[in-house]
């Protein structure tokens, strides 16, 4: 099972995970084992070299996972296809354009997705309220986004009025508490 969080909330995540596992154990009377392994999978576009000598990083290894949903199959398939194209070009005497192609095809969307996830996950209470208040907007865009029919650029442009309202509310509650 995979569970994700932003690294900035890692400590809270560990506490929540322990509480969740205890809840599942008690609720369903499961003899819970122990947490075997956990590690970070980078998302939102890698800051490292994507290719060097005879190695090309694709998918999760390249940090190409979706920063909002954590999904990575689509990005793995696209980056794998681009790596095959690049390897073929090199084998036929050309040069690898893998990094350039990844930047052009995928990284802009992932960078905006990272911004989107930072905004979204900053408001642990307000994201639920937002989803209830704008249910049709959320359902429509999430369906298109998760099916990779649109990118984060489109969601950000269409959602700016909604995000502005959400940010205004958050600022109000922050200043009210001071």
pLDDT in tens, the chain (178 residues): 566 666 666 666 677 777 777 777 787 777 766 665 667 777 777 667 899 988 999 998 998 988 877 888 889 999 999 999 999 999 999 988 999 999 998 988 888 888 777 777 766 555 566 667 767 766 777 777 767 777 777 766 766 676 667 667 666 665 665 5
Q: Which residue's structure tokens are 């990118």?
A: 151
Q: Which residue's structure tokens are 């390249």?
A: 62
Dihedral angle over CA of 145, 7, 19, 127, nearest 10: -40
Distance CA 25, CA 33 (A): 10
């Amino acid at each position: 099972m995979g569970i994700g969080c932003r690294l900035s909330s890692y400590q809270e995540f560990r506490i929540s995970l322990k509480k969740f596992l205890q809840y599942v154990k008690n609720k369903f009377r499961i003899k819970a084992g122990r947490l075997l392994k956990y590690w970070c999978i980078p998302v939102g576009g890698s800051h490292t070299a994507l290719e060097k000598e005879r190695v090309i990083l694709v998918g999760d290894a390249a940090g190409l996972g979706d920063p909002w949903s954590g999904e990575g199959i689509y990005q793995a398939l696209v980056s794998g296809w681009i790596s095959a194209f690049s390897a073929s070009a090199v084998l036929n005497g050309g040069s690898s354009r893998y990094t350039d192609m990844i930047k052009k095809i995928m990284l802009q969307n992932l960078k905006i997705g990272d911004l989107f996830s930072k905004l979204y996950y900053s408001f642990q209470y307000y994201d639920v309220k937002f989803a209830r208040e704008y249910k049709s907007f959320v359902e429509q865009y999430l369906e298109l986004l998760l099916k990779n029919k649109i990118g984060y650029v489109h969601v950000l442009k269409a959602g700016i009025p909604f995000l502005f309202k959400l940010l205004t509310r958050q600022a109000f509650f922050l200043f009210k508490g001071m």
